[in-house]
Amino acid sequence: MIIMKFGGTSLGTPESIQNVFRIVCDRVDQDPVLVVSAHAGVTNALVETGRTAPGGDTNVSEIVDLHHRMLEGLDLPADLLDEQLGEMADLVRGMQLVSEASPRGRDLLLSFGERCSARVLAAYFNQQGLGAEAVDAFEVGLRTDSNFGRARPVPDDGRIVRNMGDVQGVPVVTGFLGRDADGNITTLGRNGSDFSAALFGNALDASEIQIWTDVDGVMTADPRLVEGTRPIPTMSFGEASELAYYGGKVLHPATILPAMEKAIPVRVLNTHNADNPGTVILPEYEESSGPVRAIVHKDNIHLINLVSPPMLQQHGFLAKVFGVAEAHEVDVDLVATSEVSITMTADRADHLPSFCEDLAALGDVSVESDHALICVVGQGIAHTHGIAAQVLGTLAEAGVHVRVISQGAVKVNIGLVIQQVDVKKAVNALHSHFF
């Protein structure tokens, strides 16, 4: 069987859902299991609702109308989603009553996006004569921890494959959602449906995990920032993880792991151009035309500097620093150290003040915001001389000041920190140099 994951951008209008139906029909002999995101814009609207409801704004008409337009456009019964949309409105009123939206409540609220879209798709498929059933991932065994907003899955013991056996027709599974040990609905973090697709692919031993989106595959840079980007025909799991982790927004960073565990190829495809081969991500690295595969970037990161002269020649300093990061759940993306100082980047502004407060016990701390991370990705970098020199030379020529540089000995990437204002200039300069 194959997993076909459709993102919100591919489910934004009745016409795009009709298009998705044609794409699935053409592949029905491959035994597809669908994993779907909420319709485009719905998760953002739900996030906003969760923010304003405690202050008294319980208006959910924008979200309700969007779903009603979808039902009308597809000629589906107008009351198809009454139960879900009703529960959603009740929850929002509850948030207003208690003047609070807990992390648990916010995840429950977000879940209605995917719960609705899966039902719309399944109903439309049935109306068209292709048997399908909407499946809530949390009902068939996608279990997670209780870290609301960015929950992590707990290992599957075969329950998913057992439960999926009872589904009639093409399963249309909600992406993004799981359930914790206490029975609460959780979400896997923004863009988490890619991750769901990989988790289901792993659990069901899929022969391929297809991520259907609105571009021709993984591109050589963010097409919204750079003109003339091209789809990358093949990438290794290692390259794709680096790309996703360091900002390539086309894939959720955790997507690759469950695929890698079972060596399942991941293919990124375009719903608006279904015959295009897209990008295939494979276990092994394949030589390509050049050493660099892509230039990716991550906006709005913080540079944290810790200077600690007394640490000179003492062991255990880094362990202490990372112990503090661990305690505050700060993911450090990139580090550069000298004997007496350490510079790191972090992207979670909410945890930063308390992190820095504790860090101050180890030395002088300063934080600089408005920075960005640029990452030059390619396994070929390891076998080619002088890539770092080309990167730095290109940026110098473009007048971009590099604050931090990091290149591991494994060399799947070169990471750089620059000022946020320079991102467009830097990515474009590097993209024209390497492509």
Strand 32-36 with 170-174, pairing: parallel
If the CB atoms of residues 270 and 390 are measured against Mg ion, the closer one turns out to be 270
* H or E, element range at 356: helix 352-359
If the CB atoms of residues 172 and 352 are measured against ligand ADP, the closer one turns out to be 172
Structure tokens at 5: 């994951």
Q: How far is the CB of 247 from ligand ADP (least distance, A)?
A: 7
Helix ranges, 166-236 (H)? 193-203
**Is the separation of the CB atoms in 333 and 341 below 8 Å?**
no
Strand 364-377 with 294-307, pairing: antiparallel
In the list 218, 346, 352, 377, the residue contacting ligand ADP (rule: CB under 6 A) is: 218
Partner that binds at residue 347, options ligand ASP, ligand ADP, Mg ion, none, CB closer than 5 to 8 Å by kind: none
Residue 113 near Mg ion by CB under 5 A:
no
In the list 49, 196, 213, 255, the residue contacting ligand ADP (rule: CB under 6 A) is: 213
Partner that binds at residue 38, options ligand ASP, ligand ADP, Mg ion, none, CB closer than 5 to 8 Å by kind: ligand ASP
Per-position x/- string for 182-211, each x denoting binding to ligand ADP as judged by CB under 6 A, each - no binding: ---------x--------------------
Distance CA 97, CA 76 (A): 34
* Residue type for position 141: G
If the CB atoms of residues 8 and 415 are measured against ligand ASP, the closer one turns out to be 8
Q: How far is the CB of 87 from Mg ion (least distance, A)?
A: 25
Q: How far is the CB of 214 from ligand ADP (least distance, A)?
A: 5
Per-position x/- string for 187-206, each x denoting binding to Mg ion as judged by CB under 5 A, each - no binding: ----x---------------
Q: How far is the CB of 253 from Mg ion (least distance, A)?
A: 11
Q: How far is the CB of 191 from Mg ion (least distance, A)?
A: 4
Distance CA 2, CA 32 (A): 5
Interface with ligand ADP (CB under 6 A), residue total 20
* H or E, element range at 424: helix 423-434
**Footprint of ligand ADP on 269-298 (CB under 6 A):** 294, 296
Residue 9 near ligand ADP by CB under 6 A:
yes
DSSP-based three-state secondary structure for 3: strand
* CB count in 10 Å sphere of residue 104: 16
Structure tokens at 210: 């297809």
Biggest CA pair distance of the chain:
73
Residue 411 near ligand ADP by CB under 6 A:
no
Handedness of CA 350, 351, 354, 360 (dihedral sign): negative
**Is the separation of the CB atoms in 322 and 329 below 8 Å?**
no
Helix ranges, 41-148 (H)? 42-52, 61-73, 82-97, 103-127
Contact residues for ligand ASP, defined by CB under 6 A: 7-8, 37-38, 43, 113, 175-176, 190-193
Residue 58 near ligand ADP by CB under 6 A:
no
**Is the separation of the CB atoms in 80 and 118 below 8 Å?**
no
Helix ranges, 186-274 (H)? 193-203, 237-245, 256-261
**Footprint of ligand ADP on 105-164 (CB under 6 A):** none
If the CB atoms of residues 176 and 355 are measured against ligand ASP, the closer one turns out to be 176
Distance CA 179, CA 171 (A): 19
Q: How far is the CB of 96 from ligand ASP (least distance, A)?
A: 24
If the CB atoms of residues 47 and 64 are measured against Mg ion, the closer one turns out to be 47
- Residue 183 buriedness (CB in 10 A; 0-12 / 13-18 / 19+): exposed
If the CB atoms of residues 79 and 299 are measured against ligand ADP, the closer one turns out to be 299
Contacts of 299 (CB under 8 A, 6+ apart): 247, 372, 420, 423
**Footprint of ligand ADP on 219-248 (CB under 6 A):** 219, 221-224, 248
Segment interacting with ligand ADP (CB under 6 A) among 78-86, 212-220, 281-289, 301-309 = 212-220
Q: Give the binding site for ligand ADP (CB under 6 A).
A: 7-10, 37, 191, 213-215, 218-219, 221-224, 248-250, 294, 296
Q: Give the binding site for Mg ion (CB under 5 A).
A: 7, 191
